[in-house]
Structure formats: C-alpha cells, structure tokens
Structure 1
Amino acid sequence: MEQIVQQSLHNLVQRLRAEQHNSEDRFTVEYDSDWPSVCYLSEAATGDQVKWQPVAMDTPLSFANIENALHITLNEQYCHFFTTNWSFNLLTQASEGPCELLQVCNQEDFERLQQNLIGHLMMKQRLKQPPTLFFGLTDEEDFILSVDNASGEVVLEQVGKHPVRCLAPDLATFLDGLR
C-alpha cells in the first residue's frame, strides 16, 4: 500500500506541474522565515512569493503516538500519504470540484497535523461515530475529505457528521482521479 500511495502522490504532483503553465502557479507560496521548510527553492523576505517543490522525506515519521494514546490503528494508506514528502498543501481539482490536499512542510507542521487529528478523532468518539482521518478541504463550507479508517474509502464528510458519500475505494484511486 505504501508504494501505491507514494506513486499516486508523485504522479499527481507531476500532473499539477505539467498543467501549471495553463493556470495559477500552484507551486508558489508566501515565504515565512519563522516557518522553515526544505520545500522553499529560495529565501526571501517574509511575505514575498517564492517557488517551492515537494521534497522526499528522509527521516521516517510516525503516527504511533496517536495510535498509542487513542488505542487505535490508523489506516496505513493515510499514514503513508503524510509521510512521503515535505510539501505545502496541494491545490487540485476533483470531479466534484476544487479541493486542497493537506500536506506537512516541516516537523512542527507534522506535529500540528497530529494535534488536529487527535481532536478530530476524539470528537468522532464523543459523537459515537466511526473514525475518519481528514486529509483535504473542499470549497463547500464545513465539508472535508477523509479516509474511513476501517474501510480505507475516501469519503466526503461534513465536520461532526457521518460521511455523506464515498468518493473512491481508496486513497490512491482518489489521487489518480485528481487533475
């Protein structure tokens, strides 16, 4: 599963790069000297636009602390999605509309993701709903893209509610369908 998700993520980045000449520059971000990242292609004054690129992680990251604290095993494909590249968020298009795939650009960003995921999973527990693992935003208010932790399906869900519908049987298939 690891290599499938990694390959699908790599292929998506390549498609976005190839299409970028026809649209906004998806690989430009505001430089922040207080938010260091190996993704920046140059240094600049804080607030200036700089080009960036995803960089393969060479340090293994883990969600074990969440799994141990919440007594849950996180879906493997979800873990691989966030431990493949250092990257800023990816703006892309699903058949349902625009979406933003969350990514992590440094260690602090990964820790922030984990804190938010813990909050999300605890909310799901309080609401007695099956666990889902968020990984993207949509242009619909309060709707997020998630992986159903048990089935591995990519689902659309409104925050605090049960998933509305299944978008793909797995994360790799979902990534392969983005443009």
Structure 2
Amino acid sequence: MNASQSNLINVLQQFHHRYFQSYQQQHHQPPTVEYDSDWPSPCEQGGASNGETVHWHPVPCAPPLDFANIEQALELELHPDIKTYFGSFFCANLAAEASDGKLELLFPWSQKDFERLQENMLGHIWMKRKLRQQETVFFAVTDIDDVILSMVNSTGEIWAEKVGKKPHRKIAGSMTEFITSLEPVV
C-alpha cells in the first residue's frame, strides 16, 4: 500500500468517526439500518428480524476487496484511490454535505453488495465507452436528480456528472481532498 492509499484510508476512518460521533450525539445510540436477511453484513451489531432495525458499524476489509475481475473484464486498471475507497471497508451508505449540497457516499455493505457494485461499475464504464466519453467511476449520489459524483479514472479528480453525460463540474483534485471537505449529515 502506498502513502496515498494509506492517507485515503485514514481520511475515510476519520469521516466514519465524525459521522458516528454526530449520530450518537443527536440520536443517543449508534446508527441503525433496517435488517434484511437477504443482505446480511459484517457491519451488523447484534441480531434482528426482517423489518427491524439493527445497529451497525464500518468494518475494515482484510484483505482489501479485489478488483482484478472487473479490471480484466474492462482491460483497464482502475485508479488506486477508487479501489481503496470501495475496497477498504464494508459500510452503510453515509449522508454528507459538501459546499455544493447534500450527497450520499456509496459503500459496499457486504461481499454480495460488492459484487453488485462491480456489476454497476462495469455497466457505467461500458456506457461511457459507448458514448465515447472519458471513463469515470461513480461513488456518490447527490440531492440533484440524475447528478452523481464520479472519479475520472485517468486522473483521480472528482467531478459532478449527469448520468449518461460528460462530467460537467470539477469538485476536487482527489478523493482524499474531497472526503476531507465533507461534513456528516445524520
């Protein structure tokens, strides 16, 4: 692991910590999600029945999740920061606020969810290629219809883009810079 990847992991851990502190201060308990037996996760803390809520906490992936299959299928090496972002933690999606508005950071909830995420990444990149646009990898949704946040695979820059369109507004120079700028929304 290089220094950039290690720094991004630290920034993600700090954001998780700030999110949990804010959540506990406001709700006087750890975050909860609705339990779904079809989507179990190592993040879940305690047992529940379908429809009930369960407390959860991010869980480091050891070893990190592997992207070799998607890279082979695409004949493309994914940017190391996107692999670190998606491959380091199982976590529920986290609401946040940037200077431009509210968003939701996407994370794999489980190994099964990671596989679904990879399928969506494949579809997104194939769509970009078909449209002859630069390859991006989405990692967040915004409160604006059809606007997602993506990383430009070749540069690591963070951009806003409408689904199916070229990125239209640069948000940050790197994933680390972007995550550092966020405030948790609980």
TM-score tier by shorter-chain length is over 0.9
Matched, 1:92 2:96: yes
User: Would the aligned equivalents of 1:26 and 1:90 in 2 still touch at CA under 8 Å?
Assistant: no
1:7-86 to 2 correspondence within 5 Å? 7-20=10-23, 21-22=25-26, 27-86=31-90
What's 2:150 paired with?
A: 146
Deviation at 1:13, TM superposition (A): 0.7
What's 2:177 paired with?
A: 173
Alpha carbons of structure 1 residues 32 and 77: separation in structure 2 relative to 1, 3 Å: same
Deviation at 1:96, TM superposition (A): 1.1
Corresponding residue pairs, total: 179
Identity between Structure 1 and Structure 2 (%) = 41
Deviation at 1:127, TM superposition (A): 0.2
Give me the TM-score of the superposition, normalised by structure 1. Answer: 0.95
What is the rounded CA distance, in whole Å, between the counterparts of 1:40 and 1:60 in structure 2? 19
What's 1:127 paired with?
A: 131
User: Would the aligned equivalents of 1:16 and 1:26 in 2 still touch at CA under 8 Å?
Assistant: no
What's 2:8 paired with?
A: 5
Mark the runs of 5 or more structure 2 residues left unpaired by the alignment.
none
What is the rounded CA distance, in whole Å, between the counterparts of 1:46 and 1:87 in structure 2? 19
Give me the TM-score of the superposition, normalised by structure 2. Answer: 0.92
User: Would the aligned equivalents of 2:8 and 2:176 in 1 still touch at CA under 8 Å?
Assistant: yes
Instruction: Single out whichever of 20-29 and 126-135 deviates more from structure 2.
Output: 20-29
Mark the runs of 5 or more structure 1 residues left unpaired by the alignment.
none
SS in structure 2 at match of 1:113: helix
- 4+ runs deviating over 4 angstroms: 23-26
